[in-house]
A and B are shown apart, each in its own frame.
Chain A
Amino acid sequence: MRPTLRLLASATSAAILTGLSFGAVAQEGPLVTAAWVEENLSNPDVRIFEVSVDTGVYERGHIPGAVNLAWHTDLVDPIRRDIVSRENFEALLQAAGVGEDTTVVLYGDNNNWFAAWGAWVFDIHGLGEVKLLDGGRKLWEAQGLPLDTATPEYAASAIELPEQPADLRARLVDVLDVVEGGADVSLVDIRGPKEYSGEIFAPEGVQELSIRAGHIPGAVNFPWGGAVNEDGTFKSADDLKAAFAALGIDGSKPIITYCRIGERSSHTWFVLSRILGYEVRNYDGSWTEYGNAVGVPIDNPSGTVWGKI
Chain B
Amino acid sequence: MTNPAIRFGIPALIAVGLVAGFLVLNAGGPEGRPLAFSLAIGAAFGAVLQRSRFCFYCNFRDLVERREAAGVIAILVALAVGAIGYTAIFGAWLPTPAPGRLPPTAHIGPVSITLVIAAFAFGLGMAISGSCLSAHFYRLAEGSVISPFAIIGAALGFGLGFLTWNPLFLAITSNAFVLWLPNHLDYAGGLVLTLALIAALAIAALWWARPVATQEQSGLTLASAIQRLFIIRWPAVVAGTLVGIISTLAYFRVAPLGVTAELGSIVRTAGTAWSVLPSTLFGLDGLRGCATVIKEALLSNNGLFVIGLIAAAFITSLLANQFHPRRLTGRDVARGLVGGVLLGWGAMTALGCTVGVLLSGIQAGSLSGWVFLVAMTLGIAAAWAVARVWARRFAIQ
Contacts and interface: CB of A to CB of B under 8 A. Distances in A.
Contacts of B105: 55-56
Nearest to A137: B30
B93 interface: yes
B93 A205 contact: no
Contacts of A55: 104-105
Interface string B76-118: 0000000000000100111100000001110000000000000
B314 to A, nearest CB: 30
B253 A138 contact: no
Contact of B104 (A59, A141, A150): A59
A47 to B, nearest CB: 18
A contact face: mostly helix, strand, loop, or mixed:
loop
Interface in A49-79: 55-56, 58-60
B90 to A, nearest CB: 10
Nearest to A70: B104
Interface string A132-165: 0000001001100000011101000000000000
A59 B103 contact: yes
Interface in A101-140: 138
Contacts of A141: 29-30
Most buried by B among A60, A141, A150: A60
A59 B95 contact: no
B93 A138 contact: no
A207 B283 CA distance: 11
A56 B105 CA distance: 6
A149 B30 contact: no
B101 to A, nearest CB: 10
A151 B92 contact: yes
B294 interface: yes
B contact face: mostly helix, strand, loop, or mixed:
loop
A141 B103 CA distance: 23
B252 interface: yes
B294 A151 contact: no
A227 B66 CA distance: 67
Nearest to B100: A73
Given A56-B105, A60-B252, A150 B294 contact: no
B29 A151 contact: no
A142 B252 CA distance: 20
A153 B93 CA distance: 11
Contacts of A142: 29-30
A77 B14 CA distance: 53
A208 B103 CA distance: 26
B169 to A, nearest CB: 15
Contacts of B255: 56
Interface in B117-174: none
A151 B93 contact: yes
A226 to B, nearest CB: 22
A138 B30 contact: yes
Across the A-B interface, give the 7 residue pairs with the lowest CB-CB distance, nearest first: A141-B30, A56-B104, A56-B105, A59-B93, A150-B92, A55-B104, A59-B104
8 contacts: A56-B105, A56-B255, A59-B94, A59-B103, A60-B254, A142-B30, A149-B92, A151-B93
Given A55-B105, A59-B104, A138-B30, 19 more contacts: A55-B104, A56-B105, A56-B255, A58-B104, A59-B93, A60-B252, A60-B253, A141-B30, A142-B30, A149-B89, A149-B92, A149-B252, A150-B92, A151-B92, A151-B93, A151-B94, A151-B95, A205-B294, A207-B280
